[in-house]
A = this chain, B = another copy of it.
Amino acid sequence: MARERKFTDDELFKATKSLLIEEGYDAFTFSKLASIMEVSRGSIYKYYENKDELISEFLMYEMNLFLKGFNELDKSGDFQTQFYLVIDFIFQHSEIHQILEIINQIPKKSSNRVSSNQTQLNTYHTDMYKQFQSLIEQGKKERVIKSHLSDAIILGMTFQTIAIPNHFGIPQDEWVASIREILSEGMFQRE
């Protein structure tokens, strides 16, 4: 028994995502967002107290989606199969790298709602890393991964590869295959 909404949360998150990814956290403003949505700036304040609140809610939404997919990956194969599945998955969701970086750009002095989201986001982050870490452990048990390499470096290196800029526009298939190969076997020829 009220007026119809001009936009849904999903539409808002979609615009938020493109604006955040194109311009970054600092250049993200309610003015720009409102203009994309073709809505007045004031109306967004009806639903989110400020930029940090909106962004932290958006990040929760994105992380949930990502983790849902991550958790649904087939856990039945041997290490190598699972490892390759994970790599393919993270490359299909390469925005996750930027998302994770934005989490740390939200100032800590924010409202309660934001703080609690930040805590939750860090938990998600850690959980994801823990899951990946247990995959690494499996790899070490199966004697596929070298045991003298620390989990931290394997994890860091794997996730960092998402952000390598593909300046020359090498096709995604070749790109991912090469990265997978280098991570596994290195760039040096075997003698």
Contact = CB atoms under 8 A, between A and B. Distances in A.
Contacts of A153: 164, 170, 175, 178-179, 182
> A interface, by DSSP: helix, strand, loop or mixed?
helix
What's the number of copies of this chain in the assembled complex? 2
B145 A182 contact: no
B145 A187 contact: yes
The size class of the interface chain A forms with chain B is: 35 or more
A163 interface: yes
Nearest to A153: B178
B146 A188 contact: yes
Interface of A: 24, 26-27, 143-146, 149-150, 152-154, 156-157, 160-161, 163-168, 170, 174-175, 178-179, 181-190
11 contacts: A144-B189, A145-B187, A149-B182, A150-B174, A153-B164, A157-B182, A160-B160, A160-B163, A183-B187, A186-B186, A190-B190
